[in-house]
Amino acid sequence: MMDAMSIAKAVVLAVVEGATEFIPVSSTGHQLLVGHFIDFHSPNNTFEVLIQLGAILAILAVYFRRLLGVALALPNDPNARRFVLAVLLAFLPAAIVGGLFSKVIKAYLFNPWIVCATLVAGGLVLLVLDDTELEVKKTDVYDFSLPMALKIGIFQCLAMIPGVSRSGATIVGAMLMGADKRSATEFSFYLAMPTMAGAFAKDLLDNYKNLHADDVGLIVIGFVVAFIAALIVVRTVLDYVARHGFWLFAWWRIIVGSLGFAGLIIFG
């Protein structure tokens, strides 16, 4: 039977997932830290991965019309075909690395000390990026070239290290390739869909035999809460980034990472 405490912990982690998945602060890192300090554990971090489906559906809901337009234009529009191919090409490096090394990564890198270190380091990177005048060559996400997309996908592989942030790695990669802040962030949204769907499918295939009725119940609750939280974030983050940049997310990472270090030292 699911008890009230387990449900409360699942809701907390789902809010963390939905609120942090699409901003450059690392949802996985936050979930690992929060799960550590509230004493929530799921076998092979299955709960944390599977509730990402809620975040995926949130971004599908927000971008449904655009995605439908691209799908309908595929037979006749070469730009639509190039855009879809660019997203799939950017997804390819993470699919290969994740498929080959996901179990090793979970076994050796999923610990709160590494998360705290990468949170702080990533925050410093965002601060430097925010203050650096980069040459802007692309302002429309649909104009990203295939070589550019592949390079962004290679950057995304850095997010296999928990705390790095999938969205953060892709945004930094896109901006270094010449994208402005808004289009870099939007491309990370599109790239999230196949990446997160692939991680969800792989984790479900690897662990479905170990799931019990209570696990499924908590995952369903987490899915719904993550969907709502992600929906709110996706509707607001693009405009915020375009106007204010990444300084808030950078300092959030540094503060959370520092507090995490302090908590680990004090409480273990």
Spatial distance between the Cα atoms of 37 and 249, rounded to a whole number of angstroms: 22
Strand partners, 8: none
- CB distance 28 to 162 below 8 Å: yes
Number of domains in the chain: 1
- Amino acid identity for residue 30 in this structure: H
Q: Is pLDDT above 70 for 142?
A: yes
Tens-place pLDDT, residues 186-243: 999 999 999 888 888 887 787 777 777 777 888 889 999 999 999 999 999 988 998 8
Tens-place pLDDT, residues 48-74: 778 888 988 999 999 999 999 999 999
Strand, coil or helix: what is 21?
A: coil
Q: pTM higher than 0.95, yes or no?
A: no
pLDDT at 149 (0 to 100):
97
Spatial distance between the Cα atoms of 234 and 23, rounded to a whole number of angstroms: 9
The DSSP call for residue 135 is P
Structure tokens of 183? 């289009």
**Which residues are CB-neighbours of 171 under 8 A, at least 6 positions away?**
24, 181, 184, 185, 188, 246
Chain-centroid distance, C-alpha 19: 10
What is the span of the domain harbouring residue 41? 4-267
The DSSP call for residue 164 is S
